[in-house]
Amino acid sequence: MSKKVVKVKVPATTANLGAGFDTFGLALTLYNEFEVEEAEGIFIESFPENEFLKNPENNLFIKVVKYLCESEGKTFHGARLKQTINIPVARGLGSSATAIVAGILTSFAVHKKPLTDEEFFKVAYLFEPHPDNLLPAWKGGFITALKTEQKTYYSKIDFPKDIKAVVVIPDFELSTQLARSVLPKEVPLKDAIFNLQRATLFIKAIEEKKYDLLKVAMEDRLHQPYRKNLIPNFDKVIESAYKNGAIGASLSGAGSTMLALATENFDKIGQSMVEAFKEVSISAEYKVLDIDTEGAKIEIFEKEA
C-alpha cells in the first residue's frame, strides 16, 4: 500500500528594499522545504531541531493545512511533516511566508482545486497580511504589490540577473510586531514624497540597469529611521556595504537582517557588514544569494507505507 506525499520548496524573501515600504518584495535563493503526508495525529520533524516549530500550536504550516481541511467541511485527522528550515525565523527574510505558501499549495493540491489569486489571498491574509512577502514567496522574482479591502493588485517586474543579494543575518531575532510598534501613525508630507520619488526611481533604475541610481533610490524616511534604533550599529553596517562596493543597501523586511545589492565584491561586502556588527559585540553571518525567479515548487509522489 502506498501513501501520497507532498513536497513543497519555497524561497526566502526580502521586502521593502528601502523606499518601497510594504510594496516591494524580492525572492531569494534560500529555501524552506516541507514534506507532508496524511497521518492519524500530528508528527513534526524539524531540521535543524526547533522545539517551537515542533509544537502544532506554533507551526504555521500545520495551522494553514488544518484550516483549509476544516473549511472543506472535513475533519483534520493529522499529518506527518518533515520541514527543513534554512531561512532563519524572525529575521526579516520571510520565513513565516514560506510556511503559509507551502500550506496553501499543499492543501489545494491534495483537494485537487485550482488555486486562484482570490483563493490564495483569502487564506493567506488570515495568517499574514503582507503581499510584499507572500507574493514573491509564491511567484518568485521582484514584485510590487498593494492591498485594498477588496482586492490585491500586483506586478512582477524583471530583475537584473547580474545583481546578487548579500544578506547579513545578526544573531538576534526581531519580531515584526515589535518592528511595527515603533512606527509613527502619521508621517510628514515631505517624507511621503521623499519615498514616492525614490520608489519610482528604483523601478526605473532596475529596468534600465542604471545601478548608480540605486543608492539614492533605496533611501527611506518611512520606516528605517524608526527601526534602526532596534539594530545596533545600523548606520555603520549600511556605510560598510557602500564602502566595499554595494550598489544599494537597506534593512531586509522588518529586520534584523541587513541587505546589500551588488554586482561584484560580494564576500568583501558581506565580511565588512559582519565586522560592523562585531564592533558592537553582535555576531552575524552573511550569505550571497541570487534572485529566485520561479517561486514555490510543489512535487507530489507516492511512497510505500
Domain coordinates in residue numbering, the chain: 2-157+292-304, 164-289
Read off the pLDDT of residues 130-147 as tens digits, 9 standing for 90 and up: 999 999 999 999 999 999
Q: Quick one: which of 134, 145, 154, 137 has its CA closest to 33?
A: 137
Q: Whole-prediction pTM value? A: 0.94
Same fold, 2-157+292-304 and 164-289: no
CA gap 91, 286 in Å, rounded: 13
Residues of the chain predicted below pLDDT 70:
1-2, 305
Residue 304: per-residue pLDDT: 72
Residues 190/159, Cβ–Cβ less than 8 Å: no
Residue 175: per-residue pLDDT: 84
Task: Check if CATH label 3.40.50.720 holds for domain 164-289.
Answer: no
CA gap 174, 69 in Å, rounded: 32
Task: Check if CATH label 3.40.50.12280 holds for domain 2-157+292-304.
Answer: no
Assigned C-alpha cell, 272: 565588512
Read off the pLDDT of residues 88-129 as tens digits, 9 standing for 90 and up: 988 999 999 999 999 999 999 988 888 999 999 999 999 999
Residue 177: per-residue pLDDT: 86
